[in-house]
Structures are given as structure tokens and as C-alpha cells.
Amino acid sequence: MGCYEREQQLIAEGKAKRGQAALDYFAELDAAVSEEATHLTHRPDYSKTLFAPENDDIYQEFCRFIDLPAPRHFDALDDQMEIEGFTAPEIYRTMMASNGRLVDVDGGAVYNMLVKLRTQPEMAKRVLDFKPTCYQNGCGKYDAAYARGEYGE
């Protein structure tokens, strides 16, 4: 039995709410963050997106990801869903490659982006295409101005 099935059982018994498996996963991640790095982390409230019943298929895939042994890899899941041409591994790679300021992106953010691709595809694609500008990230290969050819080597 995976974490999704355990969560559903606990919900039926009145011992948990939807999203408990994800919250346990987030607690595991938070426990590994050093105290000085905690001010650099951000996790939104996923109750109206990833945990919403209308996105149950995405949440189930997220729970399959949580069930993987650590360290988890997005490519390790078979038969991944695709929304607007993106799978979870593609979203992760795109997010990491597009913004050199990111140190890591957790599974919640990746699977929530699948939700956003379903519910707000144009906005989500703009986020995935985001490149920081020079004043935000310093001039270099991850810079939007550099990508447009406005700076030399």
C-alpha cells in the first residue's frame, strides 16, 4: 500500500485530511534543511491546487513519486502523465535550467506546475519560459538579456 492509499484509509477513518501524504513529505524535506537555509525556502498552500479533488490524477502521481526511495528522481516513475506537452521530469529540468538562482525544486512544486498547466496553461508556460534579467541574476548565460544577444561573451 502506497502513501495515497494510506492517506485515503486515514481519511475514511477520520484521522487525516486530503494532502496528508504530501505534508509528511514536506516535513521530511524541511527536516533536512539547515537552520540558516530555512529563510531561503518557500512552500505555498497547495490545498486549492495540488490537493484539490479535481486534480486527483496528478496528486496520485505525486504520491507515487513520494513512495520512491530517497533520493527520489522524477525519471524513475513509469507511465507518467503529460499535460500540455510536459511530464514531471521535463518540468523539473526546465525549471532548474531556466533559473540559475534555484538550488532545488521539490516534488510539490513540480506536480503543482502540472496542475497549473491544466488549469492555466498560458500562464504556466510563461513561468516555465521565464529567464531572469541581468539585474536579478547578474550577467551571464542564464540571463534573459544575454539570451537575446544583448551582451557579448
pLDDT tens figures, 92-107:
999 988 777 777 899 9
- CB burial of residue 36 (10 Å; 0-12, 13-18, 19+): exposed
Sign of CA dihedral 108, 111, 113, 118: negative
% residues pLDDT > 90 (the chain): 69
| Residue-level pLDDT at 85 | 97
| Residue-level pLDDT at 138 | 54
pLDDT below 50 — which residues of the chain?
none
Cell numbers at 122, concatenated: 498560458
User: Is the whole model's pTM more than 0.75, yes or no?
Assistant: yes
Question: What average pLDDT is seen over the chain?
Answer: 88
% residues pLDDT > 70 (the chain): 85
CA distances from 15 to 9, 76, 77, 117 (A): 9, 31, 29, 32
- Kindly report the number of other CB atoms within 10 A of residue 7's CB atom: 22
Nearest Cα to 140, choosing from 86, 85, 89, 101?
A: 101
| Residue-level pLDDT at 97 | 85
Query: Using the 8-state DSSP alphabet, how is residue 86 labeled?
Result: B
